[in-house]
């Protein structure tokens, strides 16, 4: 069980705008304790008692338009309806980058790793103290605040989310490492889905007009990019060869 520890007012009780948190927890007692502790810290807390209602809330218009979107999600893993890992996976798949703190009684390393792999930002094993929970929340919110200094529009196409300002790409819920050229190629393709590009046009856009190399460079980069984003690089679904012309995306 959780230890009932009332968090002390620390030096970190800084003046921050009221953060909105979503707590997804099916056990009434734990949920109530967390709500009390978080509200005492000045957070606004919305609760969901199972996976389905959490997703319904997150997909409601007020949340998707940003008006009442949570700044942080505290997510239990063992939930009725839809479990926490699936929620995590789904949100990341949809390009939702809200920080997620997983709270779970599953303490094995596999569970932790799995939680983090499907896109959770932090993992706290039950039982935990309220003080620790609040410290973790603060850390995640602080990180989020810094990364929010500039708006981060996201380009999404099916399973691929590209964050231009962060130079980050998420494919099927996992971050992939792209070289700068690969990133610029993918960004260009995603900006113009289905448009056919000749190799010369791609060279001009991505490498610049002064590029002296061969247009085969494009083919090599496309091949590398396919290996990173396609489920089966030999049967590409995104970076399509248009015979006699060049390439298109989607």
Residues 98-130 as b or e (16 or more Cβ within 10 Å = b): bbbbbbbebeeeebbebbeebbbbbbbebeebb
Give which of 36, 42, 35, 46 is closest to 9, Cα–Cα.
42
- Binding string, 50-79, against Ca ion, x = CB under 5 A? --------------------------x-x-
Q: Which is nearer to Ca ion, 50 or 204 (CB)?
A: 50
Q: Which is nearer to Ca ion, 77 or 130 (CB)?
A: 77
Q: Which is nearer to Ca ion, 78 or 135 (CB)?
A: 78
Q: Which residue is nearest to Ca ion (CB)?
A: 78
CB of 41 to Ca ion, least distance (A): 23
Give which of 69, 100, 72 is closest to 86, Cα–Cα.
100
Compute the distance between CA of residue 169 and CA of residue 167 in angstroms, rounded to an integer. Answer: 7
CB of 139 to Ca ion, least distance (A): 23
Q: Which is nearer to Ca ion, 52 or 156 (CB)?
A: 52
Q: Which is nearer to Ca ion, 77 or 97 (CB)?
A: 77
**Considering only residues 16-35, where is the footprint of Ca ion by CB under 5 A?**
26
| 29 alpha carbon, distance to own chain's centre | 29
CB of 247 to Ca ion, least distance (A): 47
Please give the structure tokens belonging to residue 202: 């791609």
CB of 126 to Ca ion, least distance (A): 9
Compute the distance between CA of residue 163 and CA of residue 176 in angstroms, rounded to an integer. Answer: 12
Residues 29-63 as b or e (16 or more Cβ within 10 Å = b): ebbebbbebbeebebebbbbbbbebbbebbeeeeb
Q: Which is nearer to Ca ion, 24 or 91 (CB)?
A: 24
Beta-sheet strands, E only, within the chain = 20-24, 44-48, 72-76, 100-104, 122-125, 155-157, 160-163, 168-171, 174-176, 239-242, 246-249
Q: Which is nearer to Ca ion, 126 or 156 (CB)?
A: 126
Q: Does 240 bind Ca ion (CB under 5 A)?
A: no
CB of 79 to Ca ion, least distance (A): 6
CB of 76 to Ca ion, least distance (A): 4
CB of 38 to Ca ion, least distance (A): 18
Site size for Ca ion (CB under 5 A): 3
**Considering only residues 72-111, where is the footprint of Ca ion by CB under 5 A?**
76, 78
Please give the structure tokens belonging to residue 163: 């964050």
Which residues are near Ca ion by CB under 5 A? 26, 76, 78
């Amino acid at each position: 069980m959780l230890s009932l520890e009332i968090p002390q007012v620390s030096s970190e009780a800084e003046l921050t705008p009221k953060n909105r948190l979503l707590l997804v927890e099916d056990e009434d007692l734990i949920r109530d304790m967390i709500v009390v502790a978080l509200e005492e810290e000045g957070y606004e807390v919305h609760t969901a008692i199972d996976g389905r209602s959490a997703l319904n809330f997150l997909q409601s218009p007020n949340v998707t338009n940003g008006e009442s979107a949570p700044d942080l999600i505290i997510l239990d893993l063992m939930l009725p309806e839809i479990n926490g890992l699936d929620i995590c996976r789904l949100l990341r798949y949809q390009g939702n980058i809200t920080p997620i703190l997983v709270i779970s009684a599953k303490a094995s390393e596999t569970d932790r790793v799995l939680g983090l792999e499907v896109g959770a930002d932090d993992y706290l094993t039950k039982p935990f103290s309220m003080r620790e929970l609040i410290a973790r929340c603060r850390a995640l919110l602080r990180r989020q605040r810094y990364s929010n200094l500039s708006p981060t529009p996201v380009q999404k196409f099916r399973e691929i989310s590209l964050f231009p300002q962060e130079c980050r790409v998420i494919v099927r819920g996992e971050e992939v490492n792209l070289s700068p050229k690969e990133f610029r190629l993918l960004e260009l393709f995603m900006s113009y889905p289905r448009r056919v590009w000749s190799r010369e046009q791609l060279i001009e856009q991505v490498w610049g007009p002064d590029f002296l190399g061969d247009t085969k460079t494009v083919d090599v980069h496309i091949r590398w990019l396919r290996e990173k984003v396609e489920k089966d690089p030999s049967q590409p679904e995104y970076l399509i060869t248009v015979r006699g012309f060049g390439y298109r995306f989607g």
